[in-house]
Amino acid sequence: MADDLSGMRQVRGLVKWFDPAKGYGFVVSDDGGPDILLHVNVLRNFGQSSVADGAEIVIMSHSTDRGVQAVEVISIVAPEREDTPVLADFAELDFDELRSEPLEAARVKWFDKGKGFGFANVFGSNDDVFLHVEVLRQSGLADLQPGEALAMRVIDGNRGRMAVEVMAWESAVPTVA
C-alpha cells in the first residue's frame, strides 16, 4: 500500500548526522518529536549528495509505518563559520569581502573524505582547485562525488588555487547569472 502524502508538513530543524556512504541521516525538528529520516535521494533532488552535521534545514516530511521521513528539502543553511580560519591559507581573509567575489562553475575531479581533501576543475580551465573537508563542512556539505557540479569561490593560496566556499550548483544557480 502506498504511503499517504496528504499529511505532509513543513519542518525546520538541524541535521543530526548524515552519512553519504550509508545514504541517509536524520534531522531533529525544532519542535521536538521523533528524528526524521533524510534519504540521499531527497538530498539529490535538492542538488546535493551530502549535508553537514549541524546544518539548519527546512524539509517537507510525512509519517509512515516506519517513522517520519523527509520527502523534499526546501532549504539548507550551513553551520556558522568558526571564528578561527580552518586553514592557515585563510588567516588573512575577510569572509564578508570574499562573499562579493563571483562564484565559479566547477566539477568535482575526486574527493576522499577519509583523507580530508580532493580537487575540482573550474569549467574552461585545466587547473585543479584544492577542496578541503573543513571548507565543505562550513559550506554545509559533508562529502562530494566525482563529476558533481559545484559553484565555488576560489582564491590563489600559498599552494595554488583553493576553494574557500563551495555549494551545490543547483542551489547557486539563482546567485550565478
CA gap 79, 47 in Å, rounded: 18
Q: Which CATH superfamily is domain 5-77 in?
A: Nucleic acid-binding proteins (2.40.50.140)
Would you say domain 88-172 falls under CATH 2.40.50.140? yes
- DSSP structure string for 63-121: EETTEEEEEEEEEEEPPPPPSS-SSGGGTT--HHHHTTSPPEEEEEEEEETTTTEEEEE
Is the distance from CB of 149 to CB of 105 less than 8 angstroms?
A: yes
Query: Considering only CA atoms, which of 16, 18, 43 is closest in space to residue 29?
Result: 16
Q: What mean pLDDT is predicted for residues 13-35?
A: 92
Instruction: Report whether pLDDT(174) > 90.
Output: no
Query: Considering only CA atoms, which of 133, 118, 141 is closest in space to residue 54?
Result: 141
What distance separates the 2 farthest-apart alpha carbons in the chain? 58
Answer whether 5-77 and 88-172 agree in fold. yes
Is the distance from CB of 3 to CB of 64 less than 8 angstroms?
A: yes
Query: In the prediction, which pLDDT does 4 show?
Result: 46
Query: In the prediction, which pLDDT does 12 show?
Result: 96
Find where cell 535538492 sits: 46
Share the mean pLDDT of the chain.
83
pLDDT digits (tens, 9 = 90+) for 60-80: 999 988 899 999 999 988 777
Domain edges within the chain: 5-77, 88-172
pLDDT digits (tens, 9 = 90+) for 79-122: 776 554 455 566 566 666 667 778 899 999 999 988 989 999 99
Residue 12 is inside which H or E element, if any?
Answer: strand 9-19
Q: Is the pTM of this model over 0.85?
A: no
Is the distance from CB of 24 to CB of 38 less than 8 angstroms?
A: yes
